[in-house]
Structure 1
Amino acid sequence: MTDIEIDWTSLPTGQLERMLAAGRDVMECHRVLTATGDNIVGELIKGAGAFYEWSHYPEGDVYDRQSHAQFYYHAHPKEERREWDEHGHFHTFMRPRGMPDHCKPKQIDGFEYPEGPNDALSHLIAFSMDEFGFCQRLFTTNRWVTGEVWYDADDVINMLDGFLIDHAQPSWPVNRWVSGMMVLFRPQIEELIRKRDIAVASWQEAHPDRDVYEDRELEVTSTENVTVVDQIRAIGDELGRRRKAA
């Protein structure tokens, strides 16, 4: 759906260094799990018994009470899967108590906003996983897909800095991996969130008689194929170029 070209030369050195450190964390999580024949997905769902499509893993989601970041993993039935093959995907969120003060829900006519002070959560990005437990794609979704409250792209992007799962339950490697992925792929995530809003606006213009946020014909709003290895290589190449030029 998208083909994002990152201008690596435009990114601050400090950001590139943080992305590279996050990439090393991500690879370390893969390493320690591979050492025992495990992977990111298997580590999260082990001990849960039979794997059921649509069920959230872990039950009740993963939630950090300090950062108010949240995520879960699930899979769709084969007949309802998207245009790409996957085992399942992680959905990531931020709840209001973890958002910058200026972030406010978009006002949508007819939408019933949740009453709880920490209930108007925002979806950030989804990580699509292959059968071997590696991330193969990033994507965003329409509002109805996760039941989120809609925030404009600029607000969602401003929430990304606060995403951190800084505890060990139910899996320290998985929590560290999800947190690291949010930093490692920050440029692509920002662009996908912007493209999400463009896709929704275009759909609304083409279908003015529909509630775009509830339209089941619009599910995935932006997507990009990724690999951790390629991302780390690109970051390293740019940092190396800058060191040589210094």
Structure 2
Amino acid sequence: MDAAAWTPWAEVALQVPLAYARRGQTLAQAALAGAKRFVELRHYPARDVVDTRHATRAYYHAHDGATRWGPDQPPEHGHFHLFWDDPQPGTHVHLVALALDTRGQPLHWFTTNRWVTAGRWEPAAALIDRLPTFALHTRGRLAPLARWLTAMVHLFSDDLAALLQARDAALAPYTRHQRLEAVLEDRRIDILSHCSASLPARLQRLGLT
């Protein structure tokens, strides 16, 4: 895909944070959906962002304090979890999570073991096949944020494909000695793979800067 094909996604990814900044907000503050306090483990918004047309959902939260991704990395403020919703009510499939730093800038993409978000498990190949159709739309104050998340998924689609493959590769050694179902519920195994979510670096790699 040539650089021009990425341009619409890049424009959304750049313009949405700029629009929030003009109103004195970061992406992280916008993700709290007007809440006055940021409480660990609580979903923001309370009922998630749900797109029934595209069968997707997302929420923002944090846990275990400010997570650090390495000695030279800034601390995490919180992260989005992105899902596919299955046709059957109450079921979902975790796609990926996106961490923001304390300035509200994208920090890392990461994948988790199934117990972290519950739901149904799909192998990497099935999720990668669905990546090109990912869309998250909503109305109201979080509509720009939903557009931004959609743009980020598409801009980083190659990285996310590799990330999902790394997720399954990380599980493989455990499944030699245990059933997959047991491994997916093992509380000692949480984050399975992660990679940078630096937008400037990604745009440079795509030839858009």
Worse overlay, 164-173 or 128-137: 164-173
Q: 1:64 aligns with which of 47, 51, 59?
A: 51
In the TM superposition, what is the alpha-carbon distance from 1:83 to its structure 2 partner? 4.4
Q: Rate the CA distance shift 1:60–1:229 in 2: closer, same or farther, 3 A.
A: same
Q: Is residue 87 of structure 1 aligned with residue 80 of structure 2?
A: no
Which of 34, 38, 43 is the matching residue for 1:51? 38
Q: Does the 8 Å contact 2:108/2:194 carry over to 1?
A: yes
1:224-235 equivalences under 5 Å are 224-235=195-206
- Show the 5 A alignment for 1:1-246: 12-13=1-2, 16-78=3-65, 81=67, 83-84=69-70, 85-97=75-87, 117-205=88-176, 207-208=177-178, 211-236=182-207
Contact 2:33 2:44 in 1 (8 A): no
The alpha carbon displacement at 1:43 in A equals 1.2
- C-alpha deviation, 1:232, in angstroms: 0.8
TM-score for both structures, normalised by structure 2: 0.90
| Counterparts of 1:41 and 1:230, CA distance in 2 | 20
One-letter identity of the residue aligned with 2:152: M
Structure whose alpha-carbon radius of gyration is higher: 1
Kept in 2, the 8 Å contact 1:123–1:148? The answer is yes
Give the partner amino acid of 1:127: L
The question of whether the paired residues in 2 share the 8 Å contact of 1:20 and 1:236 is answered with: no
Task: Describe the shift of the 1:83–1:236 C-alpha distance in structure 2 as closer, same or farther (beyond 3 A).
Answer: closer
Cα distance, 1:208 vs structure 2: 3.0
Q: 1:193 Cα shift?
A: 0.5
The answer on whether the counterparts of 2:50 and 2:138 sit within 8 Å (CA) in structure 1 is no
Gaps of 5+ in 1: 1-11, 98-116, 241-246
Distance 1:148 1:96 in 2: 9
1:87 partner SS: strand
Q: Helix, strand or coil for the counterpart of 2:11?
A: helix
Deviation at 1:217, TM superposition (A): 1.1
The structural deviation recorded for 1:82 is 5.9
The one-letter code of the counterpart of 2:146 is N
TM-score if structure 1 supplies the norm length? 0.77
Change (3 A) 1:38 1:197: same
Distance change >3 Å, CA 19–CA 118, structure 1 → 2: farther
Higher relative contact order (CA 8 A, sep 6+): 1
**1:152–1:197 contact (8 Å) kept in structure 2:** yes
